[in-house]
Structure 1
Amino acid sequence: MKRILTYVKYIGLIGLIAFLFAFTSTRNEKRKIEGVEIEFIEEQNPYINELTVNKLLIQNQVGVTNVGKEILVLNNVEKGLDAHKMIEDSDVYLTVSGQLKARIKQRTPIARVNAVVPFYVDVTGNTMPLSDNYSAHVPLVSNVSEREVSEVFPLLRKIQEDEFLKKHVVSVYQNNIGNYLLGLRVYDFEVVFGKIESLNSKVKNFKAFYQKALKDKSLGKYKKVSLQFRNQVVCTIK
């Protein structure tokens, strides 16, 4: 008899827990979204702002603060955010208190292409539109079409990753025979990079030339510096 009573108590306890869980879940599902918090990660420049993200979170012309949890599909919200051309990735979730949180990672531009409709090239090699909120301080690329971005991207990525190049190079231009020319921030001589090949070797040679010429105080006398030829730097005097 005592054993049967123990089983009855055990079953009753399980039933009570299940009831409380179902009650809490139902109540939680019917709760309205209490507010929205947007966080931009990695301290990026503001190419997209909170107002734009809030607009993206609006569904059927109704703000998410008026939508019950039971009809809010977070995956769809994330897909809507990720489809924006300024956003690389988003993470949307609900807190226990009913607050909707969106963590936004923006795309990172590394160059601006001067086309009929200008655009950025991002760190992954894809194109992205210019921002109304912020203008990126990146090299200006000229005479390059959108279909040629994949060709010039290794050079742009090299400039972005190398602190020396990032500090000195402000422009990239493709001439009519397909060679790439670099414009510098301080000195007015033209750097003929040539084809997009042997990047590491060309950059190494240019750094060695620059440091020696800087030491000799001769950087101001050059008109053109060519890196096209294997293992050498060819200079033209003004």
Structure 2
Amino acid sequence: MKINWNFFAMGVLLFTVIGLYIFANHRNNRRHIEKVNISFIGDQNFYLSHEGVQNLLIQKLGNLENLPKEKLVLNAVEKLIESNEMVKKAHVYLTIKGELRAKIEQRKPIGRVEGVAKYYVDEDGKRMPLSNNHSARVPLVTGNVTEQSLGDVHDIITFVNRDDFLKKNVIGIHVTEDLNYLLKFRMDNFVVDLGRTEEMPKKFNNFKAFYSKAYKDKTLSQYSRVSLEFNNQVVCTKI
């Protein structure tokens, strides 16, 4: 019988490669974690410290340095970090050199509710606890804040943050008992009555047209209330 030496050589080579891979993988798993590296991504890195994450890992998992890599479950570490109320998302992985890296995205507050309960509302419309490390410069929300009105507040602030003029000037939102929304502006004494949240683009465009003209005429200081409640109208109340 004629032996196909090329086929035989390929089989030996494949067997050798698989064996080396299994050996390297086994040896790699038995290596210990040399270092834990924690980093934050994005522009909201104020509410949770590196030390806070380190302490959380040590309290729940012990000291990870010198721990055999094969004993570490990366998904469990990610879920542990994400259990912190300041964390939006965590990505944890191991490098070839045995370094455990955790990249953390913190939640982003867009409004601060002041009432019996004090908390932030984040960019996803969810409640977020205040931080001992940093106080966010976001619009203050007061009044009748319920689950329904909190959703409206999120929609209003999200809209405001997309507009340079509004984002610069809106510093507060008050929710009335009948769920109308009153906006407080930074440099002006009047209150803007938005009414309900329907037709926000049209209402704010009308307001900016009014504001531009009143600013040019130097009459802004004459008003105590500017109502946008009715479509296509800006109704002003003088002082």
State the SS of the aligned residue for 1:136. Answer: coil
The Cα shift of 1:213 comes to 0.7
TM-score, length basis structure 2: 0.92
Decide whether the 8 Å contact of 2:32 with 2:65 is kept in 1.
yes
Aligned: 1:113 with 2:113: yes
Structure 2 counterpart of 1:87, which letter? Answer: V
1:212-223 matched pairs, under 5 angstroms: 212-223=213-224
1:135-146 matched pairs, under 5 angstroms: 135-146=135-146
Encode CA deviations 1:112-136: one digit per residue, 9 max, x unaligned.
0012231111111111101111111
| Corresponding residue number in structure 2 for 1:101 | 101
State the SS of the aligned residue for 2:44. Answer: coil
Change (3 A) 1:72 1:4: same
1:18-97 matched pairs, under 5 angstroms: 18-58=18-58, 60-97=60-97
State the SS of the aligned residue for 1:176. Answer: coil
CA distance in 2, matches of 1:146, 1:47: 25
State the SS of the aligned residue for 2:221. Answer: helix
State the SS of the aligned residue for 2:58. Answer: coil
The Cα shift of 1:146 comes to 4.5
CA distance in 2, matches of 1:150, 1:43: 24
Which range moves more in the overlay, 86-95 or 42-51? 42-51
CA distance in 1, matches of 2:129, 2:146: 12
CA distance in 2, matches of 1:160, 1:152: 12
CA distance in 2, matches of 1:4, 1:52: 63
Structure 2 counterpart of 1:69, which letter? Answer: K
The Cα shift of 1:175 comes to 2.1
Structure 1 counterpart of 2:181, which letter? Answer: Y
Change (3 A) 1:228 1:60: closer
CA distance in 2, matches of 1:94, 1:142: 45
| Corresponding residue number in structure 1 for 2:192 | 191
CA distance in 2, matches of 1:105, 1:237: 47
Decide whether the 8 Å contact of 1:193 with 1:228 is kept in 2.
yes
Decide whether the 8 Å contact of 1:45 with 1:134 is kept in 2.
no
State the SS of the aligned residue for 1:58. Answer: helix
Structure 2 counterpart of 1:133, which letter? Answer: N
CA distance in 2, matches of 1:144, 1:38: 40
Which blocks of at least 5 consecutive residues in structure 1 are unaligned? none
CA RMSD of aligned residues (A): 1.9
CA distance in 2, matches of 1:124, 1:92: 23
Encode CA deviations 1:195-229: one digit per residue, 9 max, x unaligned.
12111111111111111111111111111111112
Aligned: 1:171 with 2:172: yes
CA distance in 2, matches of 1:22, 1:83: 35
The number of residue pairs the alignment matches comes to 238
| Corresponding residue number in structure 2 for 1:153 | 154
Aligned: 1:235 with 2:236: yes
The Cα shift of 1:174 comes to 1.4
Structure 1 counterpart of 2:145, which letter? Answer: S
Which range moves more in the overlay, 200-209 or 52-61? 52-61
